[in-house]
Amino acid sequence: EVYADFYWKYPNEPAVGVYKLLKPELVLRDIDLIKTVCVKEFNSFHDNEFEADQNLDPIFALNPFLAKGEVWKALRSFHSQNQSSGKIKGMFMLMLDVCKDMLSFLQQNEGIPIDAKYFSGQYTTDGVASSVFGLKQIHSLIQKLNLEKCQQNYLNNIFTITLYFLVN
């Protein structure tokens, strides 16, 4: 919240310098300046105040925005080569196809109850499978399994409710 106040207090400035006790910090506002820091001058600006304990949360600690030093360098290198603009554009098109398939599935099965949590998980799995692993036909299997599971759950719920009212 403090950083947001500094950010909005100086709307015409590309950057705002602040002190956190005795430590100077920089709040960037200009997109070109942000690109320069993140791409060209990243060696000078790789550490920040946020930190994650690898013993408490080993996955979150590998977030490149939280890592420091050599760990940060390794993570940045890994992500840079795997997230080129060409690869991101290709993944976008694959995700768009997955989204179209999901909408088509929902429209074809309108009125049929679904387990939203399970369905969302399957949709996410389908997106990852197609964009990361290049598996394009997995969605039909996932959707079929999802529909069968949801219909089974729906029938089980009707049976349980009916049984409850018969007993009471």
Q: What is the pLDDT of residues 22-49, one digit of tens each?
A: 888 888 888 898 888 877 777 676 666 6
Q: Give pTM, 2 decimals.
A: 0.43
Instruction: Please state, as a whole number, how many other Cβ atoms lie within 10 Å of the Cβ of residue 20.
Output: 10
Token pair of 106, please? 């929902």
CA dist 89 and 94 (Å) reads 9
Using CA atoms, how far residue 159 sits from 15, 82, 146, 150, 156, in Å, is 63, 50, 20, 14, 5
Structural domain boundaries of the chain? 2-82, 85-167
Q: What is the pLDDT averaged over residues 86-105?
A: 84
Q: Which residues pair with 25 in a beta bridge?
A: 18
Question: What per-residue confidence (pLDDT) applies to 166?
Answer: 62
Q: Report pLDDT digits (tens) over 52-81.
A: 777 887 777 777 777 777 777 787 777 777
